[in-house]
Structure formats: C-alpha cells, structure tokens
Amino acid sequence: MDPLLDFTGKVAVITGAAQGFGKLLAEELAKRGAKLVISDINEAGVNKVADDIASSGADVIAMKCDVSKDASCKAMVETAIKHFGRVDIGVNNAGIAHEFKPFHEIDESIMDSQFAVNVKGVQFGMRHQIQQMLKQGQGAILNVSSMAGLGGAARGSAYSMAKHAVIGLTKTGAVEYGRDNIRINAICPFFTLTPMVTNFADEEKQKKMARGAPMNRLGEPKEIVAVMLMMLSPANTYMTGQCIAVDGGVSA
C-alpha cells in the first residue's frame, strides 16, 4: 500500500458515520487498514454501515452516540480504548444544518440546536480524544467545519456561527497541543452531494447553488473524503491548526 495512505493498525473514532462524509470516510479508512469505532445518533444506520464494512474483514464497532452529550462522546472514546487499546485518529464530523432563513428570523431554538450539536459536539469529541492522545504522546484530529465557517453564509447565520466556532476550537487545540504531538485540523467543504444537501435541494436548486462556485458544480463526497484522508495521513506529520477549503474555487 502507498505509505501516504497506509492506515494499517491505526484506531479511528468517527462521529456522524451513518451516512454522508462520515460513512464514506469510514469505508475508505477501513480499506486502508484502520480499526474503527463509528458512531451516530442514528443507531440503525450506523449499525448497517458497520455490518457492510465488517463483511470485508475490517475491525469495526458501531455505537449510538449523540455528540451533544458529553457522556456519549466519552463513551465512544472509552469503547475504542476498551476494544483497540488506543485512539490515533478522531474525526468530529456529525453535524446538522438548519432551514435557510434571514438573519432576523433565526430564533433561539435554532441557535441552541446549532450550538449543541455543531459546536459542543466537536468540543466534547475533541476533549475526550485529546485526553487519550496525551497518554499516547500522539494523535490526529480532524473537525468538519464548512465554507460557512470561513465567511458569511447568507440565510445560514446560526450554521455559520457554529462552523466559525469549530475553527476556533481547531486552531486553539492545535496551539495548545502541538508540543504533545497532537495535530488538529479542520476541513471546510462547499455544498456537497451528501443526504444533508440532496434531502432538501432538488436538481434545480442544486444547479442554482452550484453557480456560487467557479467550477459551477457541487462537490462529490469522494472529493471531500480524498482531502480528509490526506489530512489524516500518517505521513502528514507537520500540518496542524489548518482549515482547508475544498470548495470548487469559491474562496479563490
């Protein structure tokens, strides 16, 4: 296997792995030798993903985890330690969108749910992953932010608030734990054709959304996951605190 993408023996925990980026990343890491604890609030969904991955012979455990609950994120990390003895990779991917609405119509309940899942969910995941990585003397964390975390996102103010916060957590974590050999980075995709987008936007709407990108199309999940693999690669040992846009040129 190409050493750049050889994850043999690495133990990864991934949140939000029942579908979308989390599912595809789990499949790709398993193909490259990683052992996985994959989790989601959708227990049946993540169990199905694990069954499919396990059928190819990979070591994978599925569990329910609601990232908005600190105890749930702790249990995910403890499961990895119990079964595999360590956590080399933490991917804080679970997230929710909200209905596009003008700023002045975003109410407290939307702010609260965005903060609970998209911000606290990342901080809870990170803090338990970091506690274990400190004991090991190494680790790599990848948080999933968004283009909406790098700039304003019209009618998506609560989501944009949350994804900016993910970048704050990423950069601060990188600064605090660089000396402990824990790398912490974030990926910032533009609209990508996962269920998060395809469930609310029909083809016509997708075409309109694509006009915002110089490449004039939305992302494919595999295009985002390719960059995730590069960011987590065991060969990528000097990159930390970076928030990488994968966006068809939106930020160019």
**Using CB under 6 A as the criterion, which residues of the chain lie in contact with ligand NAI when the complex forms?**
15-16, 18-22, 40-42, 65-68, 93-96, 117, 121, 144, 146, 189, 191-192, 194-197
Q: Which is nearer to ligand NAI, 121 or 234 (CB)?
A: 121
The residue annotated as part of the active site, out of 21, 159, 190, 191, is: 159
Q: For the CA atoms of the chain, what is the radius of gyration?
A: 17
Nearest-approach distance from CB 30 to ligand NAI, in angstroms: 17
Nearest-approach distance from CB 39 to ligand NAI, in angstroms: 7
Q: Which is nearer to ligand NAI, 189 or 234 (CB)?
A: 189
Q: Which is nearer to ligand NAI, 158 or 234 (CB)?
A: 158
Q: Which is nearer to ligand NAI, 184 or 234 (CB)?
A: 184
- The 3-class secondary structure across 128-150, one letter per residue, is HHHHHHHHHCCEEEEEECCHHHC
**Could you tell me which of 115, 113, 123, 117 has the C-alpha nearest to residue 143?**
123
The C-alpha atoms of residue 221 and residue 20 are separated, in whole angstroms, by 7
Nearest-approach distance from CB 2 to ligand NAI, in angstroms: 26
Q: Which is nearer to ligand NAI, 110 or 196 (CB)?
A: 196
Nearest-approach distance from CB 117 to ligand NAI, in angstroms: 4
The C-alpha atoms of residue 39 and residue 139 are separated, in whole angstroms, by 19
The C-alpha atoms of residue 137 and residue 179 are separated, in whole angstroms, by 9
Nearest-approach distance from CB 218 to ligand NAI, in angstroms: 7
Whether 238 is catalytic: no
Which residues have a catalytic role annotated? 159
